[in-house]
Chains A and B, each alone.
Chain A
Amino acid sequence: MQPFTKLTGIVAPVDRVNVDTDAIIPKQFLKRIERSGFGQFLFYEWRFDEKGAPIPEFSLNQPRYQGASVLLSRANFGCGSSREHAPWAILDYGFRVVIAPSFADIFYNNCFKNGILPIKLSEEQVEELFQRTNASVGYELTVDLENKSISDGKGLQIAFDLDEHRRQFLLQGLDDIGLTLQHVDAIAAYEAKHQARLANSY
Chain B
Amino acid sequence: MFEKIWNNHVIHSEEGKPSILYIDLHLVHEVTSPQAFEGLRMNGRKVRRPDLTFATMDHNVPTKDRFNIADPISKQQVDTLTKNCKEFGVKLYDLNTIDQGVVHVMGPELGLTHPGKTIVCGDSHTSTHGAFGALAFGIGTSEVEHVLATQCLQQAKPKTMEVRFIGKRPAGITAKDLILGLIAKYGTDFATGYVIEYTGEAIRGLTMEERMTVCNMSIEAGARAGMIAPDETTFNYLRGREYAPQGADFDRAVEQWKALRTDEGAVYDRVVELDVSTLIPQVTWGTSPGMGTDITSTVPYPDQFPTENERKAAEKALEYMDLKPGTPMTEIPIDYVFIGSCTNGRIEDLRAAAKVAKGYKVSPNVTAIVVPGSGRVKLQAEKEGLDKIFTEAGFEWRDAGCSMCLAMNPDVLQPGQRCASTSNRNFEGRQGRGGRTHLVSPEMAAAAAIKGKFTDVRNWEFKSEVTA
Q: Which residues does A use to contact B, with CB under 8 Å?
A: 15-18, 20, 22-23, 26-28, 30-35, 45, 50, 74-76, 79-84, 87, 102-106, 109-110, 113-114, 163-165, 176-177, 179-181, 183-184, 186-187, 190-191, 194, 197-198, 200-202
Contacts and interface: CB of A to CB of B under 8 A. Distances in A.
B145 interface: yes
B32 to A, nearest CB: 7
A82 B149 CA distance: 20
Contacts of A194: 22
Given A22-B430, A31-B73, A105-B192, A202 B22 contact: no
Given A45-B433, A76-B189, A104-B189, A113 B31 contact: no
A65 B154 CA distance: 36
A83 B32 CA distance: 7
Contacts of B170: none
Given A181-B149, A200-B243, A16 B427 contact: no
A179 B140 contact: no
Nearest to B286: A18
30 contacts: A17-B309, A17-B310, A18-B189, A20-B425, A22-B406, A22-B428, A22-B429, A22-B430, A28-B408, A33-B35, A33-B77, A35-B38, A75-B189, A79-B222, A81-B123, A82-B32, A82-B139, A84-B35, A104-B192, A105-B158, A109-B140, A114-B142, A165-B17, A180-B152, A181-B150, A183-B152, A187-B20, A191-B49, A201-B245, A202-B249
B49 to A, nearest CB: 8
Contact of B35 (A34, A103, A202): A34
Given A105-B224, A106-B124, A165-B18, 8 more contacts: A23-B429, A30-B59, A31-B60, A76-B192, A82-B139, A105-B193, A190-B22, A202-B249
Contacts of A105: 158, 192-193, 222, 224
B146 A176 contact: yes
Nearest to A49: B433
Interface of B: 11-12, 16-18, 20, 22, 24, 31-32, 34-35, 38, 43, 45, 48-49, 51-52, 59-60, 71, 73-74, 76-77, 80, 122-124, 138-143, 145-146, 149-152, 154, 156, 158, 188-189, 192-193, 219, 222, 224, 243-245, 249-250, 252-253, 256, 288, 309-310, 312-313, 316, 406-408, 415, 425, 427-430, 433-434
Contact of A106 (B59, B139, B316): B139
Contact of B38 (A33, A75, A80): A33
A56 B124 CA distance: 33
A50 B435 CA distance: 13
A176 to B, nearest CB: 6
A100 to B, nearest CB: 11
Contacts of B406: 22, 27, 81
A104 to B, nearest CB: 6
B76 A180 contact: no
Nearest to B81: A33
Nearest to B256: A202
Nearest to B141: A84
A177 B145 contact: yes
B249 to A, nearest CB: 5
A176 B154 contact: yes
Given A84-B141, A180-B20, A33 B76 contact: yes
B12 A179 contact: no
Contacts of A81: 123-124, 406, 425
A99 B243 CA distance: 45
B146 A180 contact: yes
A186 B142 CA distance: 22
